């Protein structure tokens, strides 16, 4: 008896993109609390019981590149095992190597052309 159309995956990746977080007390487009929405998404994920091979954050993580927005992202991501988290940068972030701590980089403002 066949239990599924496709075989079980060999890897599981949670991909979160373009969070566009803002500094505390400000809303994206004066409507959206991105920090609250990301927190809610992470709560749903944690409750799922899924153990991913990686959690990948990509795109524009902070809408305006505010240090406080990166601090919010760091606080939220600290709920997750650090060996799961990887980042690909958007327009406000700097490229980093895998060896550097992503969470530490989220606390630093971007440096362009360096």
Q: What pLDDT score does 100 carry? A: 41
**pLDDT tens column, 74-106:** 888 888 877 777 665 554 444 333 334 444 555
Strand-pair category, 54-58 with 13-17: parallel
Q: Is a pLDDT exceeding 50 seen at residue 108?
A: no
Q: What pLDDT score does 97 carry? A: 34
Topology (CATH) of 13-22+32-106: Purple Acid Phosphatase; chain A, domain 2 (3.60.21)
Tokens found for residue 56: 């990948």
CA gap 48, 37 in Å, rounded: 17
Give the rounded percent of residues in the chain with a pLDDT score beyond 90: 11
Domain ranges of the chain: 13-22+32-106
Q: Is a pLDDT exceeding 50 seen at residue 114?
A: no
């Amino acid at each position: 008896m066949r239990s599924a159309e496709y075989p079980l995956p060999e890897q599981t990746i949670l991909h979160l993109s373009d969070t566009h977080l803002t500094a505390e007390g400000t809303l994206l487009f004066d409507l959206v609390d991105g920090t609250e929405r990301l927190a809610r998404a992470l709560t749903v994920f944690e409750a799922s019981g899924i153990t991913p091979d990686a959690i990948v954050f990509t795109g524009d993580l902070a809408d305006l590149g505010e240090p406080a927005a990166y601090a919010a992202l760091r606080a939220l991501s600290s709920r997750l095992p650090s060996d799961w988290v990887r980042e690909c940068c958007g327009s406000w972030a700097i490229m980093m190597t895998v060896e550097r701590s992503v969470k530490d980089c989220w606390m630093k403002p971007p440096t362009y052309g360096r």
